Structures are given as C-alpha cells and as structure tokens.
Amino acid sequence: MIRSAHLPTWTGPPLPLPRGPLSSALATDLTEGPSGLPGSDGVTEADPYGDDVQLCLYMLYELHYQGLTGVDPRREWDPRLLGLRSALEDHVTGALRRDLDGDGRSVCEALDDLLAEPVRGDPTSVSHYLQRHGELWQLREYAVLRSLYHLKEADPHAWVIPRLRGRAKAGMVAVEYDEFGAGRAEDIHAVLFADLMADLGLDTAYGHYVDVAPAQALAPVNLMSLFGLHRSWRGALVGHFASVEITSSPASGRLAQAMRRTGAGPAAERFYTEHVEADAVHEQVVRREVIGGLLDDEPGLEPDVVFGVAATEELDRRLATTVLGAWRRGDSALRRPGLDG
C-alpha cells in the first residue's frame, strides 16, 4: 500500500484549550468524568458565533470522528453530552435562522447565485485576495485555517448516504468516491491537503491547529457536522454540499495561481488544480442528480436545501471578513500569530 509521506501515524488529536466557561466545563467533564455540564441558561447567554460555543461544538463533534486523546470513546453517546450538544445546536441554528431572515429563494435561485462571479473580482473573497495580493505567510495561515475542514474533507457528507435513495444516493456516492481518492489512498483529498501543508512547512497532524483557529474558522466545520449527524437536516447537508462543490472550481483556480505565484510548491499547487476539474464535474452531478433526485423524492425539503446553502454562505462570509480584515491591517488572522511548523 502506498502511503503519503506527509500523513503522520495516527495518535489522535489532543483536547483543545478551553476558551470560556462552557468549553472549560466540558473539557473537565470529558477528562475527569461527570462534573457539572453547563445548563441551557449558560448556553443561551453565550454568543452563538463566539469562541466558547463553537469550541464546545467542535469538541463534541470530534467524538464522532477520530475522538480526542484522553477521552473515553464511550463518551461519544453519553446522554449528558448529547443534551448539551442539542442545546448548543438549537442556539446556533436559531441564530442562523434569525440572521438569514427566512431566505425565500428557490433552490434554482440559490444555486444560480453561487455561480455569480463579479467581473472585476470580489473584494470580500479570500481566494480573489490571495490570487492577486497574497503573500506566502498568508497562504500558510489560510491552509492552517482550512485544515480543520480539509483534513476531514467529505467525511461528514458521507453520513447522508444512507438517508438518500435512488438518483440522489447514486450521485452522492459517485462524488464521494472521487473525494476519497477513487480507490487510491494517496489520492484521498484529505491526504492531498496534508501534502499541501507539508509543502508550506506546516504540521500535517489532524486537529493540530485547532487552538490557533478563531471561532469563524470553527463554525463552517461545525455546520457540516451538525447537518451530517441529523437525519432531519439531510436536505440542509445536501445544500451545504452543493455550495462547496459549486464554488470550489473557480476558487480553486485562483488559489492554484496564488500557490504558483508564491512558489509554495508542487503539492500545494496540485491540491487546487485537482479541484478545478473534479469539482466542475461534481457541480453538475450534485445539482442534477443529488439535489434533483432528492427533491423529486421529497419536494418538501426544498426550504432545507436553501437553508443549507444560505447558512454556508453566511458562515463563509463571516470567516472571510475576519481573515481579510486582519490581513489588510497587516495582522495575523490566527488567534496566536506565528506558526511552529
């Protein structure tokens, strides 16, 4: 079996450092046993988009992925933790619904909006900024922030497969097969991203950079975990998946140019060039087969699909605002500037 030289032997991610009373109480409970989890009042008083809430969700979701070092694997289905997770999820989805204010678009309108590309570039887009102005240190920071997503790329979307049928299921499996390397371990997209990180001189371990990632970088990762873990959110997960696939190809082209211009390295460039062609094909499959098939079977899920698209757009916008605001000031977009490899 061929193994990427840049994917380290698995040991499990460490427990992240707490960022407030909610995550501190959760960390203590996970490592020391039942010790008093936050109640609903503590959850609803916290900023739904803030560090404390988003880190709590991230830790709880990681129990369903690779686990956390020092945490008993049986805690994955601890009813107390599931109760806290449910309260946090309701708090976040409630905030998103209020902020999106009942997006009244049809699915076709929402998907068409994703394809709109400003003639002179988008000043609110990270990929446009990096294409034209990005420096190597900014590309490294961007890779750090996106590693939380890309090192688990396609995993949460796989949860929706048993909840689909017919055309939707076949289309989803076809796209996921490509995401997982089409049968070749070294071509799994998460592995290709680890190779990109190695070219940039970054640590490739899963979860290594959680502590330097702001809440705005955690939130998009948490969103896909939230949608993926709930059958009731299957339409929203398909909408999220469509958002990712439809916007990926043009953004990947810009990022490949940025990697080439800054001399980031062949593996760094390859990750994005691979996505230019692959995601252009995936876009059509997701739109016609996955979404088309799902709504043929369950037309009542159209508002959920639109919500998945809109929520993804909103959290991506918040991340871009944070990152570009810092860079344009000449500051780091990380919670702690400086990278240790």
3-state secondary structure of 160: coil
210 and 151 share a domain? yes
Q: Are residues 78 and 186 in the same domain?
A: no
Flag whether pLDDT at 2 surpasses 60: no
Whole-angstrom distance, CA of residue 126 vs CA of residue 56:
26
13 belongs to a structural domain:
no
Are 126 and 230 found together in one domain? yes
Check whether residue 82 and residue 35 sit in a common domain. yes
293 in a domain, yes or no?
yes
User: Is residue 28 in some structural domain?
Assistant: yes
| Same domain, yes or no: 208 and 257 | yes
Task: Give the DSSP letter of residue 120.
Answer: T
Q: Is residue 142 domain-shared with residue 291, that is, in the same domain?
A: yes
pLDDT band at 153 (very low <50, low <70, confident <90, very high): confident
pLDDT above 50: residue 136 = yes
The answer to the question of residue 10 being in a domain is no
Q: Is the dihedral of CA 99, 247, 250, 325 positive or negative?
A: positive
Residue 241 lies in a domain: yes
Alpha helices in 101-214 (DSSP H): 107-115, 126-133, 136-150, 155-158, 166-179, 189-199
What is the arithmetic mean of pLDDT over 150-158?
93
Structural domain contains residue 210: yes
Q: Which of 100, 133, 166 is the C-terminal boundary of a domain?
A: 100
140 & 222 share domain: yes
Could you give the dihedral angle defined by the CA atoms of residues 308, 105, 300 and 223, in that order, rounded to the nearest 10 degrees? 10
- CA-nearest of 158, 143, 110, 165 to 312 is 110
Residue 15 lies in a domain: no
Residues 79 and 144 in one domain: no
What's the gap between Cα 2 and its chain centre?
Answer: 27
What's the chain's average pLDDT?
92
At 122, is the pLDDT very low, low, confident or very high (cuts 50, 70, 90)? confident
Within-domain flag for 236: yes
Domain span including residue 52: 21-100
Same domain for 309 and 209: yes
pLDDT for res 68: 96
For residues 268 and 274, what is the distance between their CA atoms, to the nearest angstrom?
11
Q: Note whether 64 and 123 are same-domain residues.
A: no
Q: Number of structural domains, the chain?
A: 2
Q: Do residue 40 and residue 122 come from a single domain?
A: no
**Final residue of a domain: which of 69, 100, 131?**
100
Q: pLDDT higher for 305 or 153? A: 305
Quick: pLDDT tens for 245-290: 888 888 999 999 999 999 999 999 999 998 887 767 788 899 999 9
Read off the CATH number of the domain in which 208 is found: 1.20.910.10
pLDDT tens digits, residue range 99-109?
998 778 999 99
pTM reported for the whole predicted model: 0.93
Task: Pick the last residue of a domain from 100, 131, 154.
Answer: 100
- Residue 145 per-residue DSSP state: H
Please indicate, yes or no, whether residues 129 and 172 belong to a single structural domain of this protein.
Answer: yes
